[in-house]
Amino acid sequence: MSIKTPSNQRGARQSSFVALRHRDFRLLWFGQLVSQAGTQMTIVAISWQLYKLTNNPLSLGLIGLFRIIPLLTFSLGSGVLADAFDRRKLMLFSQTTAMLLAAMLAVTTYLGMATTALIYATILLSSTANTFDLPARQALIPSLVPREHLTNALSLNIIAWQIATIVGPTIAGLLLAWRKDADVVYAIDALSFGAVIVSLLLMRTRHVITEKRNVSLGAALEGLRFVRGTPILFWTMGLDFIATFFAGAMTLLPVFARDILLVDERGLGLLYAAPSAGAVVTGLLMARIGNVRRQGPVILWSVAIYGICTAIFGISTSFVLSCLMLAGIGASDTVSMVIRNTLRQNLTPDELRGRMVSVNQIFFAGGPQLGEIEAGVVARLLGASVSVWTGGVACVLAVLIVALHVPQLRNYQDTPVELEAGGVPS
């Protein structure tokens, strides 16, 4: 008997919002959109408040340090928990913790009791909660939509995040200008977590554990072995790390705005918004297209374009060209991100999804944090322009090396007929 491939897997166009037809995913998506906007507001407010308290740029650099410590400490363990326990309940716990921390910041700021030590402690604890939340959330999504709508769901997730990165900072800036303090921003963020908590409580989907799973170091290492033993997963994660480590231009945008492009704060705001604008447009296109067949070559090309746009941005002295290149960075990163996430979810058994995501978050979160340090050091020694364009060139060279030496990725394409029959691609 022949197996028919669904039309959307053959490349036919589908609704850009088809995944939102599924009730539980729709609940999670809207809840995350509201919550992420609140989180982006707090990111702006914390930076503003710390600089106001210390008048020291180093205090802003320490934010990344306190965010990466929980990631390196708890990431593998968080994946084990996401595979061993109900992912929805883990998210409820992490989201409630984050809500209480935001509320504490709001109260202490209102009372004039917020100190740098308290803010850093809150950043540390919030990052810890997020480290446990992410594997559970990403591993939960495949159970909320059918496989043929997974790419669409992941595209919509990226769109929600990018919308939040535009809306959240804009609202935060207006509130800070009006209030001259961050307490209202933190209070709104605390309330925004309620949207996710309510959506999780209303969900009908449950993560059913059919057999007892160990919570141990061996279980954590099993996730590492799985990723290392699956070249497609390992090298897509590696490419993500390379791109964000070498080609991270965002951390130096204030320098480009003031010293190279000669624009004011409004121009800086447009520079920050440009990648998100490119990402939203591309995310909608990806959601419309659905599954992409030649996934390996598309990933390689998208990361290469990411590096090329970064290099051109680094040498540009035109504000318009710089905005276009930043939009290209956001667009190419979105293509790569959607395909990488779809591929990882499809190649990973459900019982290992949490641990796979926990390994992945070391790559995709560690790359930008370490990349900020690398960009800052090179910019200090050689200048911001050199730091960015050399990083873009290094990213392109890394893609060429991977393309030449990893044929599994260079030649990879999805095999929907086998997957529909229940197989797993090799």
Phi, psi of 411 (to 5 degrees): -105, 5
Helices 295-315 and 384-405, axial angle in degrees (round to 10):
160
**What is the Cα–Cα distance from 19 to 156, expressed in whole angstroms?**
8
Tokens of 186: 């933190």
Burial class (CB in 10 A: 0-12, 13-18, 19+), 5: middle
- Cα-trace Rg, the chain: 21
**Given this model, what pLDDT does residue 195 score?**
94
> At 410, which amino acid appears?
R
What burial class does residue 178 get, using C-beta atoms within 10 Å of its C-beta: 0-12 exposed, 13-18 middle, 19+ buried? exposed
What are the average pLDDT values for consecutive 10-residue runs of the chain, which has 426 residues? 40 68 92 91 82 71 79 80 82 94 95 92 92 84 84 82 82 80 92 94 73 63 79 84 77 77 74 82 77 81 94 94 93 86 77 77 74 72 86 92 87 53 31
* Type of residue numbered 203: M
Closest among 312, 325, 332 to 388, alpha carbons compared: 312
DSSP string, 131-152: HHHHHHHHHHGGGTS-GGGHHH
Residues 6+ apart with CB under 8 A from 238: 363, 402
Report whether 223 contacts 349 (CB < 8 A).
no
> Is residue 38 helix, strand or coil?
helix
pTM of the model: 0.69
Show the CA angle centred on residue 324, arms to residues 321 and 330, nearest 5°.
145
* DSSP-derived secondary structure for 309-357: HHHHHHH---HHHHHHHHHHHHHHHHHHHHHHHHHHHHHS-GGGHHHHH
Q: How far is 414 from 330, CA to CA, in rounded Å?
A: 24
Cβ-proximal residues to 82 (8 Å cutoff; 6+ apart), any chain: 90, 132, 135, 136, 139, 353, 354, 355, 357, 358
Q: Do 127 and 70 contact (CB within 8 A), yes or no?
A: yes
**Rounded to an integer, what distance in angstroms lies between the CA atom of residue 117 and that of residue 115?**
5
Q: What is the pLDDT of residue 1?
A: 35
